[in-house]
Amino acid sequence: MSRLVVVSNRVADPRKAAAGGLAVALGDALNTAGGLWFGWSGTVIEGGAPGEGELHQQKAGTVTLATVDLCAEDHADYYLGYSNSVLWPVFHYRLDLARFDAGYFGAYRRVNRLFARQLLTLLRPDDIIWVHDYHLIPLADELRALGATQRIGFFLHVPLPPQQLLAAIPQHEWLMHALFAYDLVGFQSEADLENFSRYVRAEAGAEDLGDNYYKAFGRTVQAGAFPIGIDVDEFAALTHGKDAREMYERMKDEYSRRQLLLGVERLDYSKGLPQRLRAFKALLKKYPENLRSATLIQIASPSREAMDTYTDLLQELESLCGAINGDFGELDWMPVRYMHRNVARKRLPGLYRVARVALVTPLRDGMNLVAKEFIAAQDPADPGVLILSRFAGAAEQLKDALLVNPYDTDGMADTIQRALQMPLQERQARHQTLLKNIREQDVHWWRMTFLKALGAAARG
Ligand SMILES: O=P(O)(O)OC[C@H]1O[C@H](O[C@H]2O[C@H](CO)[C@@H](O)[C@H](O)[C@H]2O)[C@H](O)[C@@H](O)[C@@H]1O
Ligand SMILES: O=c1ccn([C@@H]2O[C@H](COP(=O)(O)OP(=O)(O)O)[C@@H](O)[C@H]2O)c(=O)[nH]1
């Protein structure tokens, strides 16, 4: 049987919990299949040489972790720069936040070349290689240039924006050309796949060969939508584990008298946090029966803190939370409990289960695994309600959530009110369908469907 080689910028020990959906999902996939996980070590070497990095290897159960250090300059220009100041904002439809700095692109190519060079030394002829996310779009092209002939698939965890937005990236053609070095390119949603199809036909004159095969730049690639899922059983088991139970017991008493609303994410401008807080404020104004009762716990896990766009958001959030608590709080009740801290994933199910309502309202999100985790953690006899942004990839699958437009403050306040008042029977019915959805297309389904398609993709 072929060995699975997973490549992603972020690598984590698959036996430990990690914040960030990609690391969680790949840990799940590799724990099942075994294999090699290759990527950045997370270490930044001050004064190191650009384009160079030491390779480390360690065993983590059945998985070998192979990681490369980055020098400070590469970390700044490849990770914080091209990946997170160009590709991340543009792919999340935020041209206004993109910084097209000339030095970033060189570092992006340099690090992809470094990864290709280091990875090549570890590869076996019959390996199946699965590359993940926007940091590594040109990796297959670099590997092919070094002679790699293995099957290579790519999965984009973030959205792919429409053609006109993508075309704002000065290197858009180069990036999309690079995708044609893969045998299969996977997206989170049908909407992303549609954007890909439109782009390659309009900008690259691609020929649509049917069955999602496209021919352009003298190469053929197959594309597809493979919505990522969670390990529902593992998450349900976590829900009944010691840490989650302790969390549940602690919170249950306090919130038996109150209605708990919950938001959990990395502190990222794609997640729609200010918009959510404004909607919560509108709820308190418009429906005063929620005063002294509805409490929003917002967990914002620190992320990419070296970037201004992230520190600006932190300040905006602190000021919004402070203003809401100042305006509406009482001595014995604060409407918002805001935490700028990571909460261990094993404790989250306890919190999800106490919440009456989950607010998963990103402005754009590739998928959003928190939405799926919330569903998996609920008590089917008395489930909470999921409010989900129509702009999260998850919305294509989770139609029985209450779908909202996060830019519509009043509309979102009305939906929160509806969720808080939803009768038990409706909550149960919605939850049952949602649970069925996340069970049918779980993380195992995602891995198997993608790898089956990669194995079957015609090459050329
Ligand atoms: O590695 P970081 O810079 O710390 O960021 C964490 C991860 O964020 C993004 O996650 C995405 O993948 C999830 C799983 O498919 C998906 O549900 C979510 O919508 C995406 O935002 C990013 O794409 C990863 O590469 C990062 O590791
Ligand atoms: O304080 C936190 C915040 C988030 N997460 C986990 O991080 C992942 C977030 O994945 P998602 O797809 O929702 O968003 P991403 O961060 O990848 O954009 C989920 O598994 C969460 O349970 C966590 O463990 N602790």
Give pLDDT tens digits for 396-428: 999 999 999 999 999 999 999 999 999 999 999
Where the chain has pLDDT below 70, the residues are 17-21
Q: Output the CA 191–ligand 2 centroid distance in Å.
A: 22
pLDDT at 15: 75
Query: Are 428 and 312 members of one domain?
Result: yes
pLDDT at 459: 80
Which residues are the active-site residues?
A: 157, 365
- pLDDT tens column, 190-223: 999 999 999 999 999 999 999 999 999 999 999 9
Instruction: Please indicate whether residue 394, judged by its CB atom, sits closer than 6 Å to ligand 2.
Output: no
Instruction: Please indicate whether residue 268, judged by its CB atom, sits closer than 6 Å to ligand 1.
Output: no
Instruction: Please indicate whether residue 28, judged by its CB atom, sits closer than 6 Å to ligand 1.
Output: no
Query: Are 217 and 273 members of one domain?
Result: no
Query: Are 386 and 407 members of one domain?
Result: yes
pLDDT at 34: 80
- Please give the number of the atom of ligand 2 that sits closest to the Cα of 367: 12
Query: Are 211 and 247 members of one domain?
Result: no
Q: Which two tokens stand for residue 93?
A: 């439809």
| Buried b or exposed e, range 354-376, using 16+ CB within 10 angstroms | bbbbbbbbbbbbbbbbbbbbbbb
Q: Which ligand sits closest to the CA of 88?
A: 1
Query: Are 338 and 254 members of one domain?
Result: yes
Q: Which ligand sits closest to the CA of 231?
A: 2
Query: Are 127 and 37 members of one domain?
Result: yes
pLDDT at 20: 59
Geometric angle at alpha carbon 416, from 249 and 245, rounded to 5°: 15
Strand 402-404 to 385-389 pairing: parallel
Q: Output the CA 286–ligand 1 centroid distance in Å.
A: 35
Number of domains making up the chain: 2
Residue closest via CA to ligand 1's atom 6 equals 20
Instruction: Please indicate whether residue 370, judged by its CB atom, sits closer than 6 Å to ligand 2.
Output: yes
Q: Output the CA 10–ligand 1 centroid distance in Å.
A: 9
Query: Are 217 and 263 members of one domain?
Result: no
Pocket residue to mutate for ligand 1, from 158, 345, 441, most atoms within 8 A of Cβ: 158
Query: Are 392 and 424 members of one domain?
Result: yes
Q: Output the CA 366–ligand 1 centroid distance in Å.
A: 8
CATH number for position 20: 3.40.50.2000
Q: Output the CA 252–ligand 1 centroid distance in Å.
A: 31
Instruction: Please indicate whether residue 24, judged by its CB atom, sits closer than 6 Å to ligand 2.
Output: yes
Q: Output the CA 121–ligand 2 centroid distance in Å.
A: 33
Residue closest via CA to ligand 2's atom 22 equals 345
pLDDT at 17: 63
Query: Are 225 and 332 members of one domain?
Result: no
pTM of full prediction above 0.90: yes
- pLDDT tens column, 162-182: 999 999 999 999 999 999 999
Domain that holds residue 205: 4-229+443-456
For residues 417 and 182, the answer to whether their CB atoms sit within 8 Å is no
Instruction: Please indicate whether residue 228, judged by its CB atom, sits closer than 6 Å to ligand 1.
Output: yes
Instruction: Please indicate whether residue 20, judged by its CB atom, sits closer than 6 Å to ligand 2.
Output: yes
Query: Are 353 and 211 members of one domain?
Result: no
Query: Are 447 and 423 members of one domain?
Result: no
- Please give the number of the atom of ligand 2 that sits closest to the Cα of 157: 17
Instruction: Please indicate whether residue 369, judged by its CB atom, sits closer than 6 Å to ligand 1.
Output: yes
- Residue 443 to residue 428: CA distance in whole angstroms: 24
Query: Are 254 and 145 members of one domain?
Result: no
pLDDT at 458: 84
